[in-house]
């Protein structure tokens, strides 16, 4: 990654992962100093300052996407499952010249502003919580493992 490159800002490690915005690389890759600190949760004893294993970049905010692009939609796009045309256009426009990632000014009013919830596979993009499968007990809560106590 080079300074000035635009990147997708992705929410991960959360209930509903997906692309939330656009960021720009503000500082190119440099050794991740947290890997050298034994008190830090990301400490890596194998990484040495003379030969670092991990690198990081600094990013700065550019813009928030008008619509959150959920991981479920991205998975459907690459799986070959049918995706509503509006949803496909939203993701396609992320990378095309003149789209949301372009440095040119874009009239966002001309871009799709809503991801359709009419999924042929029953996925509801307006309410991702409703997509959870029901368990045998009829709830959406995960079952806890039964561990034997020693």
pLDDT in tens, 122-138: 555 555 555 555 555 55
Q: Which residues are 63's β-sheet partners?
A: 22
Domain count, the chain: 1
The verdict on residue 90 lying in a domain is yes
d(CA 113, CA 104): 19
The verdict on residue 48 lying in a domain is yes
CA distances from 48 to 30, 44, 67, 88 (A): 13, 9, 42, 44
The verdict on residue 35 lying in a domain is yes
Each residue of 70-108: pLDDT tens digit?
998 888 877 777 767 777 777 677 655 444 444 444 454
Tokens of 117: 């919830």
The verdict on residue 143 lying in a domain is no
Domain range for 37: 6-100
The verdict on residue 10 lying in a domain is yes
d(CA 24, CA 3): 8
pLDDT over 70 (residue 149): no
The verdict on residue 14 lying in a domain is yes
CA distances from 114 to 84, 94, 99, 109, 124 (A): 11, 14, 16, 11, 13
The verdict on residue 142 lying in a domain is no
- Please tell me whether the overall predicted TM-score, pTM, comes out greater than 0.85 for this model: no
pLDDT over 70 (residue 3): yes
The verdict on residue 30 lying in a domain is yes
């Amino acid at each position: 990654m080079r300074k000035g490159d635009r990147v997708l800002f992705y929410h991960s490690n959360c209930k509903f992962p997906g692309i939330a915005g656009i960021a720009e690389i503000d500082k190119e890759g440099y050794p991740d100093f947290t890997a050298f600190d034994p008190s830090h949760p990301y400490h890596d004893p194998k990484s040495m300052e003379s030969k670092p294993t991990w690198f990081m970049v600094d990013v700065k905010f550019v813009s928030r996407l008008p619509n959150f692009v959920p991981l479920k939609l991205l998975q459907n796009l690459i799986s070959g499952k049918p995706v509503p045309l509006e949803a496909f256009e939203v993701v396609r426009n992320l990378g095309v010249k003149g789209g949301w990632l372009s440095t040119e000014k874009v009239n966002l009013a001309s871009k799709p502003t809503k991801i359709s919830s009419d999924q042929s596979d029953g996925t509801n993009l307006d309410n991702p919580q409703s997509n959870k499968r029901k368990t045998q007990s009829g709830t959406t809560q995960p079952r806890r493992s039964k561990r034997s106590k020693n």
